[in-house]
Amino acid sequence: MAADSLRTDRIWIDGAMVPYDEANVHILTHSLHYGLAVFEGMRCYKGDDGRSAIFRAKEHIRRLFDSAHIVEMCIPYSQEEVVKACADVVRINRLAECYIRPLAFYGEGEMGLSARNNKVRVAVAAWPWGAYLGEESIQKGVRLKTSSFVRFHHNSLMPMAKASGHYVNSILAGYEARRNGYDEALLLDVNGYVAEGSGENFFVVRDGMVRTPPLTSILPGITRDAVIKILRDAAIPVIEEHFPRDVIYIADEAFMTGTAAEVTPVRELDDRSIGDGKPGPITRKVVEIFRATLHGREPRYASWLYHV
């Protein structure tokens, strides 16, 4: 999961393009202490026509502003300005393909939980990022382990917000799974139903029917939304409903979706192979259409590409 290299020429901070080595913050940055920050992750791909495009940039930045609204943070830019900053960062660093990380956080000034006067700062960085769950993951599929960590309840933290502090839950689950030799964790919700991976949404297939958990204790993934649309357009039925883990044990296929993970097949959960342990036909079809979309080969999804 190591980044190829985070170093680029410039990072956008508070409206200015700053050299990489000067993109620093003070140790009393409020968000660093309490985890109250919101962020996004997007990917930019080089199309077959040679032009680079960010996948669903406007939707990601809309979710950034939704996340901020949920946690009562006011971002001092318009959504259009932040989308433009993302495109500018890709262009100025001459990155044909990359991962883009917008972040909004509270700066220094006051400390304490009741501080409300710290400036909201916004940054956008980008870097090349290869396969999230390993080079072989897309061909062979990954091995998951049900986590001992439960996905937080929506009255504790609100999963609709992509907030930095929420990721302590994901990181602990991911550490546990990888330490025990698995590729990724599968988190259940407080009622014991399947929620999502540490950084991916989850889909399961049986008898040609696709199921994915509803938006109660998961991040409303933009890849998840795209995949639901792709499935429905391909006349493959998909329903959003709660299901327990044993539905996955007896499934024909399973896969995970995310900006970083893209569409990654799942070949095993809790040491039980899923189907014949290889990426199945529906999974392969989704991978293929999704990949074609990202590189501009699917005219019907052309509006999902934001050219930089």
- Residue 65 vs 118, nearer CB to ligand PPE: 65
β-pairing verdict for 184-188 and 194-197: antiparallel
46 part of the active site: no
> What's the N-to-C CA distance of the chain in angstroms?
26
β-pairing verdict for 98-106 and 37-39: antiparallel
Task: Indicate whether 279 belongs to the interface with ligand PPE (CB under 6 A).
Answer: no
Task: Indicate whether 222 belongs to the interface with ligand PPE (CB under 6 A).
Answer: yes
- Residue 75 vs 163, nearer CB to ligand PPE: 163
Torsion on CA atoms 234, 242, 57, 140, rounded to nearest 10? -70
Q: Encoding tokens for residue 184?
A: 């990724």
C-alpha 28/C-alpha 106 separation (Å) is 10
Amino acid in the structure at residue 192: G
Q: Which of 102, 199, 213, 265 binds ligand PPE (CB under 6 A)?
A: 199
C-alpha 120/C-alpha 166 separation (Å) is 19
Question: In whole angstroms, how close is the CB of 303 to ligand PPE at the nearest point?
Answer: 17
- Residue 108 vs 225, nearer CB to ligand PPE: 225
Task: Indicate whether 223 belongs to the interface with ligand PPE (CB under 6 A).
Answer: yes
- Decide if 109 contacts 117 (C-beta within 8 A): yes
Q: Which of 184, 189, 196, 253 binds ligand PPE (CB under 6 A)?
A: 196
- Decide if 92 contacts 100 (C-beta within 8 A): no
Which is catalytic among the residues 46, 58, 84, 162?
162
DSSP at 55: E
Q: Which of 93, 147, 164, 170 binds ligand PPE (CB under 6 A)?
A: 170
Task: Indicate whether 213 belongs to the interface with ligand PPE (CB under 6 A).
Answer: no
Q: Which of 75, 219, 263, 287 binds ligand PPE (CB under 6 A)?
A: 219
Residue facing ligand PPE at closest CB distance? 41
Choose the binding region for ligand PPE from 119-127, 140-148, 251-259, 266-274 (rule: CB under 6 A).
251-259
Closest CA to 261 of 204, 188, 183: 183
Interface ranges with ligand PPE (CB under 6 A) = 41, 170, 196, 199-201, 219, 221-224, 257-261
User: Which positions are annotated as active-site residues?
Assistant: 162
